Amino acid sequence: MKNLITKSLIAAGLFASATAIKAQTASLQIIHNCADAAAGTVDIYAGTTLLVNDLQFRFATPTLTNIPAGVNIVVGVAPGTSTSSAQSIATFTVNFAPNSRNIVIADGIVSPTGYNPSSMMRPFTLNTFTAGVAAAPNGTTTSLLVHHGSTDAPTVDIVAPFTGTNPVVPNILVNNAPYGAYAGYLNLPTANYKIQVRDQNAENVVAEYSAPLQTLGLGGAALTVVASGFLTPSNNSNGPAFGLYVAAATGGSLIPLPSTPASSTRLQAIHNCADLAAAQVDVYFQSATTGPNAVKLIDNFAFRTASPYIDVPTAQVVTLSIAPPTSTSVASAIASYTYNLSPSSKYQLIANGIVSPTGYTPSSATTPFNLAVYATARERSINANNTDVLVYHGATDAPAVNVVAQGSGTVVTNMAYNTFNSTGYLQLPSNTTAGNYTLHVTNTAGTATVASYSAPLNTLGTTGLGLSVVASGFLTPSSNSNGPAFGLWAALPTGGNLVQLPLVSTTSINEITSEYVNANVFPNPNTNQVNVTINTKETQLATAIITDLSGRVLIQVNSEINAGENTITINTTELNAGLYILNVYHGNVVEQAKLIKE
């Protein structure tokens, strides 16, 4: 093949002389990844001369040397039955740098119909990578060049689960790779990996593959990994299915990475146990993936905080253990729970109940410490214009309740302690200011309001997210060791402190007292603290929340304010310089200001 190409290029007049051949050459490998059946086999021309004959789909040429460099070459791609370059379905002009190593991958759609996206959206093209390498940096490393060539696959992440420095945080090898892109070389220690294709948020597994680099003896090798075929063949003329394929420098048939069942899913933990004896806990995790010894998953996990969604193994026994915050090993655990998690589910675990034998009503015998499990959790809303809200009743001394969203009617009915909303997530529009809701907690008959809360989903920037609202604390703290008072708190998918929903004064379900008062913010810009001055006519709870521009909560300060002028001081030393949003909630008022940190 090499001699054929060199002779063809000489015949085509692309070499000026033997001297030019020696001084101005490059290396080239061509990979056929166009899954359109009309291009199942192609001929490749250099000018009018046949360069590669009958290159089949999912085949690669050897790495070819002595390719002219520093000159324009018109490359034509024609059907495998072609007799001349005049029959080319597409032409491309290339100019390779001297001594470069180039990888050219044919992608896209040729046919005018039968494929989705169509040839208009994904036209046939040659995608060139001009910084190829001949080998990995050393014999214990394998270099992988990753290319996204699947026309109907979205932007994706490539993840190697449980291989990073923290086994429960996604080890993202390739971040946000769009169709047609090269991700550059991954220099991985030569080992056997699970490789997952996930959505661009690294949250959901599209497919998982085995990459046995060590077993195959690929230390020191440089390979190209191509996302190939269709996620939905039925929408693409029943073409070849999606997969990851490897091209070696020696060429030949691309090697499929074996498909394997997903080995991980996602889990969020929320600490909602209001017993003062469990104000902070350590959480341990053990499975076959982590080995025989439990690892400390969360240190000093505080009441009314949440973990982010983390990776956990599936199809094996997983043990979660809860221990005091002074623990040094899982041997100190006060409770352990065993699960066998499904890769088709996503989990939320809420710690709840009473630990202490005395001091609480109902007692630990009636409402013992437990982990409530929800197996269809969401990190994102189904509709990008909504916030999807899961409601959980976690107040041990509160009766069964209804929840009424003002203007939308009853959204939760007869929800008892230690249960989730029976209808699952509430899909609440939140992309406009109408997405700032008032929620009324009522008795099950709907005749009396226990309390009302502001749920400013739009202001908090939760559009597009899935979150949980947890009934937390005690209706009667005096009967529960003067523990934290009842309230509604929101857990964001990014974890951190739960966000308190501000209490709203009400006279009835349909009438809310409202008085707009201005909050003064100073200094702005600030360097290490900001003050918020609020004037009000009555005592009420005020909450100041600082978020970044994506809506992620960074700082929350709760303060009871009295009639008259009040000042809330917020420490901003941990914020980086930049622009933030300050939201102040008090009474039925939500005020917002741009905050600049210098």
Output the pLDDT for position 361. Answer: 96
User: What backbone phi and psi angles, to 5 degrees, belong to 123?
Assistant: -65, 155
Q: Which residues contact 216 (CB under 8 A, 6 or more apart)?
A: none
552 pLDDT tier (thresholds 50, 70, 90):
low
Output the pLDDT for position 493. Answer: 96
Output the pLDDT for position 495. Answer: 95
pLDDT > 90 in the chain, percent? 67
Cα separation, 97 vs 43, whole angstroms: 24
Q: Averaged over 295-301, what is the pLDDT?
A: 91
504 pLDDT tier (thresholds 50, 70, 90):
confident
More confident site: 266 or 527: 266
More confident site: 404 or 119: 119
8 pLDDT tier (thresholds 50, 70, 90):
very low
Q: Averaged over 512-518, what is the pLDDT?
A: 35
Least confident of 49-53, 320-324, 407-411, 467-471: 407-411
Place of tokens 């490998």: 29
Best mean pLDDT range from 15-19, 117-121, 594-598: 117-121
Output the pLDDT for position 21. Answer: 42
Q: Do domains 1-132 and 134-258 have the same CATH topology?
A: yes
Output the pLDDT for position 445. Answer: 79
Residue 358: pLDDT above 60? yes
The dihedral through the CA atoms of 397, 400, 404, 405 has a sign that is: positive
Mean pLDDT rounded to a whole number for the chain: 88
- What are the residue ranges spanned by the domains of the chain? 1-132, 134-258, 266-513, 514-598
Least confident of 101-115, 204-218, 383-397, 493-507: 493-507
The C-alpha torsion from 53 through 59 and 61 to 63, rounded to 10°, is: 170
Residues shown for the chain: 598
Output the pLDDT for position 535. Answer: 79
Output the pLDDT for position 515. Answer: 34
pLDDT per residue over 394-404, tens digit each?
999 999 999 98
More confident site: 554 or 469: 469
- The CATH topology of domain 514-598 is Immunoglobulin-like (2.60.40)
Q: Which residues contact 20 (CB under 8 A, 6 or more apart)?
A: 68
Closest alpha carbon to 406 in 506, 517, 475: 506
545 pLDDT tier (thresholds 50, 70, 90):
confident
Q: Is 185 exposed, middle or buried (0-12, 13-18, 19+ CB in 10 A)?
A: buried
Please tell me whether residue 326 adopts helix, strand or coil conformation: coil
More confident site: 541 or 228: 228
DSSP per-residue letters across 436-465: EEEEEEE-TTSSSEEEEEEEETTTTT-TTB
Question: Is the preceding omega at residue 368 within 30 degrees of 0, hence cis?
Answer: no
Least confident of 170-184, 341-355, 438-452, 535-549: 535-549
- The CATH topology of domain 1-132 is Immunoglobulin-like (2.60.40)
65 pLDDT tier (thresholds 50, 70, 90):
confident
Output the pLDDT for position 519. Answer: 62
Output the pLDDT for position 516. Answer: 32
565 pLDDT tier (thresholds 50, 70, 90):
confident
Q: Averaged over 405-418, what is the pLDDT?
A: 88
Amino acid at 325: P
Tokens of 111: 């046919």
pLDDT per residue over 70-84, tens digit each?
999 999 999 999 999
User: 134-258 domain in CATH 1.10.3470?
Assistant: no
Output the pLDDT for position 589. Answer: 62
Angle in degrees, CA 406, 409, 410, rounded to 5: 110
Output the pLDDT for position 6. Answer: 41
